[in-house]
Structure 1
């Protein structure tokens, strides 16, 4: 019996409190179990088990050794499971939550390629920008844009989104096109964005070289939804800062104009969040890896 088998045997004796029960559980002769434990105690130079007429218990040294064995065996099992799963197709259902526009413009149109690679994985896709309680709602992972608060979740950056400051053509005709950040304070207005998490209005952000500058402008409307934010900008209600992918069509047809391109807003991180796993399911691992590939192609 090798060392790993002896460790596994020892842990089962401690957990079941019996040599006989452990022998039956592992389909081993009782004599083999007794001999293996004697050899293990001799090799370690310590008494690991205390035997009574009714039960077998771990000694003080045995408890310490048991805790080490449990951790080591769990790691070995996880490594072996990784290799087993690598040789078979991942399968099962994943529940994911994705911002609406990213789902419609990027994720869903690209899914045929994902399913061609992983035909046994099923996706249950929720869309929106609301807070998702992953544990209570049974969601496996969420894709989020922007700076995220500490949550205790595992986070993996999958890409960044270029942003621009935009204004409608009607807004520019009425207020003019600012040529510098200082010009913004000469009668310009903003569509105010309120964080869905903090409910506080956020200032406009600009990158001047490597430095970040915040500018707060008056505004007639405050919104907390991405579509409402874009619609308010298109309606001429003020300046807005939006991901380039979301407004590229409106820029091309002249509905929107880019403002201050020399001092753009900082890029937004795109992050996948999921709960910590001792052993990450293969279907979740391949989906997250695929998202990284997808973002690299799209951005």
Structure 2
């Protein structure tokens, strides 16, 4: 028996909750996973797992063994990573979950840069805003907006997202332009963005001079994916609050118009998250560091653009000197 392989398989069965998910995440036949766990139990002379038709339950001995084995495997991976990183390029697959808009506008345009730096790393992207089972789906890390509520995740804040309020010109021609956020409650329709965990829409928020207003407009449509959310706004369905860099090209082309520009939504923190039980290997670490750098560079550009807009707005609002005639 390869005891090290058996330990890795056993810990994955515990983390995923059953043999089928463990086999899928490890890319092994289920029979191989079952045989390795049985061999490990025979070697130790104790039962580690109680199997039923529906679930796998860890025994008392199994829980103790899992705790020690997972720490041992993490230390071993750290040792391997520290030596290999000084002698060779990091290599292997990294699986990342993130929204389609981030993939399209941040990752893909810069992917050649990452590949040039780390040619031996293969990236796999799980595109969408759905809830992810990190262990069962073998996801190494994810990019998520908002403060994570899952205590099993390690979260690294990498940027803050600037959101502003937009609508299509065709929509504004039909209903007019709101003068105050409260107008959205009565005469306008909104596009809802649903929370992954509850299925409820995020409220629209507006901040100005210390005043925070939260609005629940009438929603014609709600979605749970950022690209569809923006597409609905472009189609003229209603008002949307979107991350400014995601719609910059649409605004420049006149497909979307910023409204209520003197009101801002409080920025949303952006995190890279990964499971506490998943050791952050060197290949994942270099990707996380690279992505964090790209996001921080983008945030600085957004802040510079916002500062320039404020300067232009102040210049336009200031009284112009009258020429002596």
SS in 1 for 2:108: helix
SS in 2 for 1:164: strand
Alpha carbons 2:130, 2:224 under 8 Å: kept? no
1:15 aligns with: none
2:315 aligns with: none
2:121 aligns with: 121
What is the rounded CA distance, in whole Å, between the counterparts of 2:280 and 2:197 in structure 1? 28
1:92 partnered with 2:100: no
What is the rounded CA distance, in whole Å, between the counterparts of 2:226 and 2:236 in structure 1? 16
* TM-superposed deviation, 1:193: 2.4
1:200 aligns with: 200
2:106 aligns with: 106
What is the rounded CA distance, in whole Å, between the counterparts of 1:271 and 1:112 in structure 2? 23
- Written as runs of structure 1 = structure 2, the 5 A alignment for 1:1-299 is 83-88=82-87, 89-276=89-276, 280-299=280-299
Deviation sequence 1:66-92 (CA, Å, 0-9, x none): xxxx9xx99997886565244132222
Deviation sequence 1:259-291 (CA, Å, 0-9, x none): 111111122222111122585311111111111
What is the rounded CA distance, in whole Å, between the counterparts of 2:252 and 2:75 in structure 1? 56
What is the rounded CA distance, in whole Å, between the counterparts of 1:278 and 1:130 in structure 2? 20
- What stretches of structure 2 of length at least 5 have no aligned partner? 1-68, 300-325
SS in 1 for 2:254: coil
Alpha carbons 2:99, 2:226 under 8 Å: kept? no
Alpha carbons 2:181, 2:213 under 8 Å: kept? no
Greater displacement, 126-135 / 210-219: 210-219
* TM-superposed deviation, 1:201: 2.2
Call closer, same or farther: CA 1:234–1:117 in 2, change over 3 Å.
same
* TM-superposed deviation, 1:230: 1.7
Call closer, same or farther: CA 1:79–1:96 in 2, change over 3 Å.
closer
- What stretches of structure 1 of length at least 5 have no aligned partner? 1-69
Aligned residues: 229
What is the rounded CA distance, in whole Å, between the counterparts of 1:78 and 1:128 in structure 2? 30
SS in 1 for 2:231: helix
Deviation sequence 1:141-178 (CA, Å, 0-9, x none): 11122343224111111212211110110121122212
Call closer, same or farther: CA 1:80–1:138 in 2, change over 3 Å.
closer
Call closer, same or farther: CA 1:80–1:225 in 2, change over 3 Å.
closer
What TM-score, normalized to structure 1? 0.69
RMSD (Å), alpha carbons = 2.6
Call closer, same or farther: CA 1:123–1:76 in 2, change over 3 Å.
closer
* TM-superposed deviation, 1:223: 2.6
